Amino acid sequence: MARQARWGVTLVLLLGLGMAARAQQSYLDETVIHVKPGKGAAWEAMVKKVVAANRDHKGDTWVALQTAYGEGDTVRFVSVRQSYAETEKASDAFDAAMDKAMGHAAAEKLFADLADDTTESRNTLLLRRPDLSSNFPADAAAEAKIVGSTRWIRIIRIVLRSGQGLRFEDLAKQVKAAQEKADPNLYSWVSQSVAGESAGVYYVAQLRSSLAGFDGETPMPQIMGNDAYLNMLKTASEIIQSESITLGVFRPELSNPPEGVVNVAPNFWRPKPAAPKPATKPAPAKK
């Protein structure tokens, strides 16, 4: 989802860009919006107009998720990109779709109104790190199947102490190996900040088909073994400066996902508008 300046909001690119060249890099282009308290209904109504206009005129694609546990009134719009060039191309397509749907002046007015209902924004660029991720999909089709079935995401934001990136990545690879051995369906995808915030910030996104999916997870000491787990905790205490955890739920009515994602669960991703209630006949007047 583009048009950052017009929205007055942030585009957070949850990217997979390594410090060294990697094959098949991919990126996540995310808009993070903090909505003013009490403005949620009006703001969502405007976003739905954006979704419809963009979809009708083949603009950009994204999925939306809202923070359910964490900072309130926060919505994220996430798109997958294969390159920086594709990010720019998608932004142009989004702008063109909005202008074609309602005219340039009306589109600018809509974005200004959305910005008025926004309190804060932030832009971040992250690199996706399959080499640190547990059960990262082998291709786009496999990723679409997983994302299409996902309803909740737990996001762990990890801020490292200066110069501790290599130690953290070694630790992450140990966790990856243990998790993949324990459960091939446990999805924990890692991204690394490359622009928009301090260096040494990593994100772990854990995807589940329901909130209940977070229940019954095998404890990490059992997965890794007690000695390895205690060593991991010791290393983590030395290299991690801060850590925060949020839970987000997908909002299909605010999303315009790629067709591969939609095809997994079309009734969820393309919800039909609620049918208007039939008019009721007034009761006959009493004689």
pLDDT digits (tens, 9 = 90+) for 235-283: 999 999 999 999 999 999 999 999 999 999 999 999 876 666 665 655 5
Q: How confident is the model at residue 26 (pLDDT cuts 50, 70, 90)?
A: confident
Q: Which of 69, 87, 120 is nearest to 3 (CA)?
A: 87
119 and 39 Cβ atoms separated by less than 8 Å: no
Residue 281 lies in a domain: no
| CATH (domain of 42) | 3.30.70.100
Beta strands 201-208; 187-195: pairing state: antiparallel
State which of 104, 126, 148 marks the end of a domain. 126
Which of 287 and 218 is assigned the larger pLDDT? 218
Residue 261 lies in a domain: no
Residue 64 lies in a domain: yes
Same domain, 33 and 139: no
Q: How confident is the model at residue 17 (pLDDT cuts 50, 70, 90)?
A: very low
What is the chain's length?
A: 287
Same domain, 234 and 214: yes
Lowest mean pLDDT among 34-38, 181-185, 236-240: 181-185
Same domain, 120 and 158: no
Residue 263 lies in a domain: no
pLDDT digits (tens, 9 = 90+) for 149-176: 999 999 999 999 999 999 999 999 999 9
Which of 193 and 110 is assigned the larger pLDDT? 110
* Residue-level pLDDT at 8: 35
For the record, the structure tokens of 19 come out as: 């410090």
For the record, the structure tokens of 176 come out as: 């990856």
Residue 259 lies in a domain: no
Same domain, 189 and 87: no
Lowest mean pLDDT among 10-24, 76-90, 103-117: 10-24
For the record, the structure tokens of 270 come out as: 């393309």
pLDDT digits (tens, 9 = 90+) for 55-85: 999 999 999 999 999 998 999 999 888 888 8
Same domain, 111 and 24: yes
Residue 276 lies in a domain: no
Same domain, 163 and 220: yes
Q: Which of 173, 248, 191 is nearest to 29 (CA)?
A: 191
Same domain, 100 and 178: no
C-alpha angle 180-185-189 in degrees, rounded to nearest 5: 70
Same domain, 116 and 139: no
Q: What is the largest CA-CA distance in the chain?
A: 87
Rg of the chain (C-alpha set): 21
Tell me the residue ranges of DSSP E strands in 14-121: 27-35, 63-69, 74-81, 118-121
| Segments forming the whole domain that contains residue 101 | 4-126
Same domain, 116 and 223: no
* Residue-level pLDDT at 283: 58
Same domain, 121 and 138: no
Same domain, 106 and 179: no
Same domain, 149 and 225: yes
Instruction: Tell me how many domains the chain contains.
Output: 2
Residue 254 lies in a domain: no
Residue 237 lies in a domain: yes
* Residue-level pLDDT at 13: 30
